[in-house]
Chain A
Amino acid sequence: MNTAPIKKRYYFISALVIILGIILLFLPFNKNRNQLSAEKLLLSITNNDRFFSTDEVAKFIISGDPSYQLIDVRSEEEYAKFSLPGAINIPLSKILNKDKSGYYEWEGYLNQKVKTNIFYSNGSIYANQAWMLTKRLNYPNNYVMKGGLNEWVETILKPKQPEASASQSALNQYDFRIAASTYFGGGSNISADSSDKSNTKNNTTSAKKKKKKSADGGC
């Protein structure tokens, strides 16, 4: 700083920064440029990639596949009354909750690459909404159980016998469903909403919050 040439460089840099500042003053500021575009979102809503059928979900549960995580997006009361084995409860109204330090409370479960999350609710609507929120946040590996618990009751717990002329695959599917309904303690002649169904949820686990924090900065 004591010599003149360095000073000259300072003048040059100052002028350059001011010019850049003036340019920035008139440049438009883009927001959300790289978020999921409307077209892409529409495309992923209209195609059915996000759905798992109730049969597939039943297979995951019976085989005890640890790479799948069922997530019940109904309210806590409904979850307490009945839920699928192994499901955790993240109510739809609380999915975007932030914890005390301002991070998404459930991010550890919803934004991860290890497990395949499957949302379910009574029908498809709330599970779809949960899926939409996570999709918009660009969280990977989230799916929806098609038809929800209503479909679950109709297909797995109380399967209808296909006609004798039905295809072999339909008959096989029926056999699987009969076996599954026995496994889930249903049996085709017991109504699904009877209270003794609640004993199927004895191995459900309540969700603990996992934290996924970005590193803090410092000097």
Chain B
Amino acid sequence: MGPLITQGIISPEWNPMIAFIVGLGFGFALEQAGFSSSRKLIGIFYGYDMIVVRVFLTAVLTASVGLLFFNYLGWIDYDLVFVNPTFLWSAIIGGAFVGLGIIMSGFCPGTSFSALSIGKIDALAFIIGIGIGVFFYAETFELLFEKLYYAQNLGGIRIYETFGISPGLFMFLFILFGLGIFWFTIFIKKKYSNRNLKY
């Protein structure tokens, strides 16, 4: 059956509309989880608040377990699911820069917009910064970044294919890993809770 748009069950013209609705939900969830607070987001790096890690792990586990069950029930065709191609070096270097940006500002691109929606001035500064960065990158792409961008194209790879194990086994290991992190962060939180940080 799925993916609904690729299979033509929902026409592609609906794409922006669906993105809009999902985006509203995503922004609302971010804001409700308190991610529009840069102190909360930055907590991972200083180790006093791991809620972001837990929320993301919960989302990833829910989605991936759900997808595998969908696959078993024949509701989704894995071959038609779009997998972003992996460009090794741009992923590593770009990832490092994004991480640096998050530490410096306390926002990730998504949370900055939900923070702006509740009227945070620093989020506005962050978004203007994104705009300038995007403009600089786009204008100098062919000059500076093109070689780096396309280096080491591994294609649309999946981890379980790379390791040569079944998706079910990989999922099981990933669940163990995720739960391990989950409980570990709760343990850390306990240790730091006596600090009583206020946002």
A residues apposed to B, CB below 8 Å: 1-2, 10, 14, 17-18, 20-22, 24-35, 100-102, 138, 140, 214-219
Q: How far is the CB of B149 from chain A (nearest CB, A)?
A: 8
Q: How far is the CB of A189 from chain B (nearest CB, A)?
A: 49
Cross-chain contact of A24 among B68, B186, B189 (Cβ < 8 A):
B68
Chain B residues near A18: list those with CB within 8 A.
Answer: 175-176, 179
A26 touches B71 (CB 8 A): no
Chain B residues near A1: list those with CB within 8 A.
Answer: 186, 189
B19 within 8 A of A: yes
Chain A residues near B169: list those with CB within 8 A.
Answer: 25
Chain A residues near B176: list those with CB within 8 A.
Answer: 18, 21
Chain B residues near A32: list those with CB within 8 A.
Answer: 77, 79
For chain B residues 24-54, which have a beta carbon within 8 Å of chain A?
none
Kindly report which residue of chain A lies nearest to residue B12, judged by CB atoms.
Answer: A113
| Binary contact readout B1-33 vs A (1 if CB under 8 angstroms, 0 otherwise) | 100000110000001000100000000000000
A35 touches B79 (CB 8 A): yes
**Binding site secondary structure of chain B:** helix
* Given A24-B171, A101-B85, A215 and B19 contact (CB-CB distance below 8 Å): yes
Q: Would you mind naming 28 contact pairs between A and B with Cβ atoms under 8 Å apart?
A: A1-B189, A14-B182, A18-B176, A20-B175, A21-B65, A21-B176, A22-B172, A24-B168, A25-B172, A26-B168, A29-B68, A29-B167, A30-B72, A30-B78, A31-B79, A32-B79, A33-B74, A34-B7, A34-B77, A100-B150, A101-B85, A102-B156, A138-B7, A215-B15, A217-B84, A218-B109, A219-B108, A219-B111
Chain A residues near B129: list those with CB within 8 A.
Answer: none
Tell me how many residues of B have a C-beta within 8 Å of chain A.
42
Q: How far is the CB of A99 from chain B (nearest CB, A)?
A: 10
A18 to B8, CA, bound (A): 35
Chain A residues near B84: list those with CB within 8 A.
Answer: 216-217
A218 to B172, CA, bound (A): 25
B199 within 8 A of A: no
Kindly report which residue of chain B lies nearest to residue A103, judged by CB atoms.
Answer: B85
A218 to B109, CA, bound (A): 8
A18 to B179, CA, bound (A): 9
* Given A14-B179, A21-B175, A218-B109, A27 and B77 contact (CB-CB distance below 8 Å): no
Q: How far is the CB of B135 from chain A (nearest CB, A)?
A: 17
| Binary contact readout B145-156 vs A (1 if CB under 8 angstroms, 0 otherwise) | 000001001011
Would you list the 5 A-B pairs with minimal beta carbon distance, nearest first?
Answer: A102-B85, A34-B77, A21-B175, A21-B172, A24-B168
For chain B residues 156-186, which have a beta carbon within 8 Å of chain A?
156, 166-169, 171-172, 175-176, 178-179, 182-183, 186
A17 touches B68 (CB 8 A): no
A102 touches B155 (CB 8 A): yes
Q: How far is the CB of A13 from chain B (nearest CB, A)?
A: 8
B61 within 8 A of A: yes
B141 within 8 A of A: no
Cross-chain contact of B153 among A20, A102, A215 (Cβ < 8 A):
A102
A17 to B64, CA, bound (A): 11
Chain B residues near A102: list those with CB within 8 A.
Answer: 85, 153, 155-156
Chain B residues near A31: list those with CB within 8 A.
Answer: 78-79
Chain A residues near B133: list those with CB within 8 A.
Answer: none
B69 within 8 A of A: yes
B77 touches A35 (CB 8 A): yes
Chain A residues near B168: list those with CB within 8 A.
Answer: 24-27, 29
Q: How far is the CB of A82 from chain B (nearest CB, A)?
A: 36
Chain B residues near A138: list those with CB within 8 A.
Answer: 7
A92 to B148, CA, bound (A): 31
B61 touches A17 (CB 8 A): yes
Q: How far is the CB of B111 from chain A (nearest CB, A)?
A: 8
B171 touches A21 (CB 8 A): yes
B80 within 8 A of A: yes
